[in-house]
Structure 1
Amino acid sequence: MSSWTAIGAARTRPCTLVVCRGCCCGNKAKYPGYDHAWQLERLQAAAASSGGRVAVRVTDCLGPCDQANVMVVQPSGEGRRRGGRAMWVGWSMGDDATHEILHWAEAGGPGIAPAPAALELQFIETPGERTRRRTRR
């Protein structure tokens, strides 16, 4: 693959929702009051009907298990060019959180559209961010 192809692919990359479904996230035993399968189906259906503006990836454990369910909203190629960075969202269960995440992603996500105020309350700091902050003294 040429470097031009890779750059071209990054340019058109959609806003991507990375959905944790590891040890705690999506675990009915840990969170029995939530329909985890419904949430994933809703996210995937929205991505399928977005005309390629939103993608969904499912991954194993992302790490911050005490803040499950965790999702990462990755910026689109255009969002990244505008300075958008991946935003980690904790406690992303239920209708309201799912709706806010989808609404933001469909509007363009990080770098394109502002995050919904209610969703900002669920943003979590990643281990890498804590390390960078500690070493900046």
Structure 2
Amino acid sequence: MTTFAIRPFGARPCTLVVCRGCCCGDARKNPGTDHAGQLARLRDAAAASGGRLAVRTSDCLGPCGQANVIVVQPSTEGRRRGARAAWIGWALDDDATDDVLAWAAAGGPGIAEPPATLTLQMIPPPSGAARMR
């Protein structure tokens, strides 16, 4: 028998959705990038955040030409302020990971402005990505 934990309805944290499908996270496409290390850093930050940050993985988010892709979803409060998910492309190095984590720690979309260097990596969501809002 499988038991499922039901999370009570309430505030959702800023959530990082990390693509780890056909291209993102693939050493053949982006050799020299520590894909596993990046995901471990993001998960460690979420674990240390006291519930203010969550990390999920996705098989494929779509924009393979801009791998590695991370979607920064706003918290409940960020959504109340009108924020939508921000799509980050080319998140391949420690600097990009640092910027994503700094923005998420500051509150993410709708709460804090992203680091200027991170705005240069923002990409439009692919068509049909409405579920990621």
Q: TM-score, normalised by structure 1?
A: 0.86
Query: Which digits, 9 at most, give the CA deviation of each residue in 1:44-83, with x for residues without a partner?
Result: 0000000100000011010000000000000000010011
The structure 1 segments of at least 4 consecutive aligned residues displaced by more than 4 Å after TM superposition are none
RMSD over aligned Cα atoms: 1.6
Equivalent in the alignment of 1:132: none
TM-superposed deviation, 1:22: 0.4
| Whole-angstrom CA distance in 1 between matches of 2:102 and 2:112 | 10
| Whole-angstrom CA distance in 2 between matches of 1:43 and 1:127 | 23
Larger Rg: 1
Q: What's the secondary structure of 1:28's corresponding residue?
A: coil
| Whole-angstrom CA distance in 2 between matches of 1:48 and 1:111 | 22
| Whole-angstrom CA distance in 1 between matches of 2:91 and 2:60 | 14
Gaps of 5+ in 2: 1-6, 129-133
Decide which structure has greater helix share.
Answer: 1
| Whole-angstrom CA distance in 2 between matches of 1:54 and 1:75 | 10
How high is the sequence identity, in percent, across the aligned residues? 66
Aligned length: 123
- Please list, as runs of the form range in 1=range in 2, the aligned pairs for 1:29-108 lying within 5 A after superposition: 29-108=28-107
Q: TM-score, normalised by structure 2?
A: 0.88
Gaps of 5+ in 1: 1-5, 130-137
1:119 and 2:118 equivalent? Answer: yes
